Amino acid sequence: MTTDTSNHKEEQHQFSAEVERLMDLVVHALYSEREIFLRELIANSADATDRRRFEALTNEACALPATPQLRINIDKDARLLTISDDGIGMSKEEIIQNLGTIARSGTRAFEKELKDAKPEDRPNLIGQFGVGFYSAFMVADKVEVISRRAGTDEAWSWVSEGKGQYTLTQATRDTAGTTIILHIKSDADEYLESMRLENIIRKWADHIAWPIVIKQGEEEERNANEGTALWRKPRSEITDEQMDDFYRHITHLFDKPLATLLWHAEGVFEFTSLLFIPGMISPFAPVDQERKSKVRLHVRRMFITDEAEMLPAWLRFIQGIVDTEDLPLNVSREMLQNTPVLARIRKALTNRVISELQKLSEDKEKYETFWNLFGAIFKEGLWENGEHSESILKLSRFYSSTEEGLTTLPDYVSRMKDGQEAIYFLAGDSKEILSSSPQLEGFKAQGIEVLLFTDAVDAFWPDRVGKYADKPLRSITQAKEDLEKLMGDVEHVNSEEEEGLIKSLKETLGDKVSEVRTTQRLVDSPVILAASAGGPDLQMQRLMRRNDKSMPSPSPVLELNPNHPWIKSLVLKAKDGKDINDEASILLDLARVQDGEMPVDPTLFARRIATALTGK
């Protein structure tokens, strides 16, 4: 394999500002653990080779060589370290995208973590943020990348000294794949020694399936890794350190997993799975990450794809590998969607993961860590899947208006008051906001516990699930009659003057509200919003509006506290025929603010408040 970049016009490109700052952070703040660079570059090469092998199944032009390798060549005299692979390679556009830009959120998060981390913890941050390629500049003052996309004849050279810009030049490469040439710094001699590199590979990449060969000068090539399929070994033969290293390789995280599941399934169909529940969420992950499982599918040890959706979307936080003997190596994407074997494996895996979570839930502290990380994703299963709803409900955790920490639905049911017919909840944006919501006042006064739902999905799944333990799930914004029944003899009959205020407010507010009425569920607050009968929960309506999704829903109900001094004063104003237009708008905006919404016109709201306070 040879490469050539001569006689081609160079293109100068600037790094995005985020990449430039990122490289400076990597090079200077993580300087003490420089060996990390080799692990990152080898992992990238192994992934590229895996992807080419899978793409070749449906595209003959991408076929791998007979003996694909990851090759490391050391030229000590020229101070060059070259890492080559037979992987999928990159087109010009892919080089610019992969090596010239990076997500801004990842860089900011990386910088913050770096600032907060202890010095001894800083080397591990590279793997957490997907910035591995740039670690090459810890040991090299110049990096060249020559890549040819499989299935094409065109190759490109990328060259940079890591100082704000890079050059792109059309090049030649005999075969598809990528070559990375590191011009080693004067103080990094150790990385020009084959034994040192071999030790690093044994430490970090021994499990990679593709052979990694090292050649230095006139020495013969030798394999630097065993390439063992860790997941095929009995658990007793795998050390905790090996398991943690493999977890880090698969997830690109550098914590320890909350739980590890190594399972050899035997019977009508056979497969092995090595799955991990991570102990953290990668801060480099996109905010709106794709809702698909990325568990890797292998057939007889060989990587096939990470897009087989081996687990449902609501278990997409699980990472790992599934390896089976019961599929052909040349399995197509269409077969992956339709084969009964894969459907049975998916079902078995899902059941096993739920069983593992049930075990994990016995450790309260560890399970709360899991729940804080992945609970919102897990609860998506309540919306999507009826088969496992009962198990998901039992495993779900919620904040409560009366209990410290997190609680469960079974525990809530055990604490229900005599005469209480439903499981009550209030959905919103945070525990702090919900805990002080006026919506809770009447329920607190009656000693009725309310679950506080703080994730976006909580606005949707209760309607789908309907009930738990034969108890309906009901938002307290739709529970006026329930509370009145629980309050017993407490009843308020509107006076003629109060009816006058109600009529006046409805005329003033028009179709902004579907109804104005008094309520006994308020204690300290003057006003509150309620969902119309038969309409969706208020939080669901808010979420849909924030995401620019329209949904048919009636205007909210405006409920008044007839015992509040302000409402009493408005009753007298309305009786005397005085103008209460401004007060009507303030009441509605105030009710919105209490529920975490903005006034329709914040400036006008502020002006009306100022006028009300000063009388001017």
- Same domain (yes/no): 329, 302: yes
Asked whether residue 438 is domain-assigned, the answer is yes
Both structure tokens of 345: 């494996």
Angle at 87 between CA 19 and CA 190, to 5 degrees: 65
303 assigned binding-site residue: no
563 assigned binding-site residue: no
- Same domain (yes/no): 474, 559: no
- Same domain (yes/no): 121, 157: yes
Structural domain boundaries enclosing 464: 396-487
pLDDT at 288 (0 to 100): 41
- Same domain (yes/no): 265, 209: no
pLDDT at 124 (0 to 100): 45
Chain CA centroid to CA 377, Å: 8
End-to-end alpha carbon distance in the chain: 84
128 assigned binding-site residue: yes
- Same domain (yes/no): 40, 172: yes
pLDDT at 352 (0 to 100): 95
220-244 as b/e, with b when 16 or more CB fall inside 10 Å? Answer: eeeebbeeebbbeeeeeebeeeebb
333 assigned binding-site residue: yes
Domains of the chain: total: 4
Both structure tokens of 138: 């810890």
- Same domain (yes/no): 236, 208: no
Please, are residues 175 and 71 in contact by the beta-carbon 8 Å criterion?
Answer: no
178 assigned binding-site residue: yes
217-270 tens-digit pLDDT? 888 888 888 777 889 889 999 999 889 888 987 887 778 899 999 999 988 788
- Same domain (yes/no): 322, 452: no
Q: In angstroms, what CA-CA distances link 37 with 48, 284, 305?
A: 17, 18, 26
- Same domain (yes/no): 477, 513: no
40 assigned binding-site residue: yes
Closest residue by Cα to residue 149 from 91, 65, 62: 91
- Same domain (yes/no): 277, 256: yes
Q: In sequence order, what are the beta bridge partners of 575? A: none
| CATH assignment of the domain containing 581 | 1.20.120.790
pLDDT at 355 (0 to 100): 96
Angle at 599 between CA 598 and CA 600, to 5 degrees: 110
Radius of gyration (C-alpha) of the chain in whole angstroms: 31
Asked whether residue 199 is domain-assigned, the answer is yes
DSSP code per residue over 201-236? HHHHSTT-SS-EEEEETTSPPEE------GGGS-GG
279 assigned binding-site residue: no
Residue type, 148: R
Residue type, 593: V
| CATH assignment of the domain containing 341 | 3.30.230.80
105 assigned binding-site residue: yes
CA dihedral sign, ordered 392, 394, 396, 401: positive
Please, are residues 54 and 60 in contact by the beta-carbon 8 Å criterion?
Answer: no
316 assigned binding-site residue: no
| CATH assignment of the domain containing 446 | 3.40.50.11260
Asked whether residue 32 is domain-assigned, the answer is yes
Tell me the average confidence (pLDDT) per consecutive run of 10 residues in the chain, 616 residues long: 62 74 63 76 87 86 92 96 96 86 49 59 43 82 96 95 88 95 96 93 79 91 84 90 86 86 88 93 55 84 80 94 80 69 92 96 95 94 87 96 96 94 92 91 93 92 93 90 80 85 93 91 90 71 64 80 93 90 92 84 89 76
Task: Provide the 10 A C-beta neighbour count for residue 13.
Answer: 16
* Beta carbons within 8 Å of 452's beta carbon, 6+ residues apart: 398, 399, 400, 401, 425, 426, 428, 431, 434, 435
Residue type, 437: S
132 assigned binding-site residue: yes
| CATH assignment of the domain containing 206 | 3.30.565.10
Asked whether residue 542 is domain-assigned, the answer is no
**Cα–Cα distance measured from residue 52 to residue 572, given in angstroms and rounded to the nearest whole number:** 79
Asked whether residue 2 is domain-assigned, the answer is no
Residues, the chain: 616
Query: Angle of helix 496-509 relative to helix 581-594, nearest 10 degrees?
Result: 80
Please, are residues 14 and 165 in contact by the beta-carbon 8 Å criterion?
Answer: yes
Asked whether residue 138 is domain-assigned, the answer is yes
Q: Considering the entire predicted model, what is its pTM?
A: 0.68
133 assigned binding-site residue: yes
* Strand ranges for 476-581 from DSSP E: 515-518, 527-530, 557-560
303-331 tens-digit pLDDT? 777 888 999 999 999 999 999 988 876 56
**Cα–Cα distance measured from residue 532 to residue 554, given in angstroms and rounded to the nearest whole number:** 7
**Cα–Cα distance measured from residue 188 to residue 180, given in angstroms and rounded to the nearest whole number:** 17
Please, are residues 281 and 357 in contact by the beta-carbon 8 Å criterion?
Answer: no
85 assigned binding-site residue: yes
**Cα–Cα distance measured from residue 310 to residue 320, given in angstroms and rounded to the nearest whole number:** 10
Closest residue by Cα to residue 376 from 275, 435, 454, 320: 454
pLDDT at 21 (0 to 100): 67
- Same domain (yes/no): 400, 287: no
216 assigned binding-site residue: no
Asked whether residue 47 is domain-assigned, the answer is yes
pLDDT at 104 (0 to 100): 41
407 assigned binding-site residue: no
**Cα–Cα distance measured from residue 75 to residue 95, given in angstroms and rounded to the nearest whole number:** 26
* Beta carbons within 8 Å of 473's beta carbon, 6+ residues apart: 422, 423, 425, 462, 465, 466, 467
437 assigned binding-site residue: no
H helix or E strand, kind and range, residue 372: helix 364-378
- Same domain (yes/no): 504, 440: no
- Same domain (yes/no): 501, 483: no
Examine the fold and report which residue of 347, 367, 387 is the final residue of a domain before the chain moves on: 367
Asked whether residue 13 is domain-assigned, the answer is no
Both structure tokens of 363: 């450790």
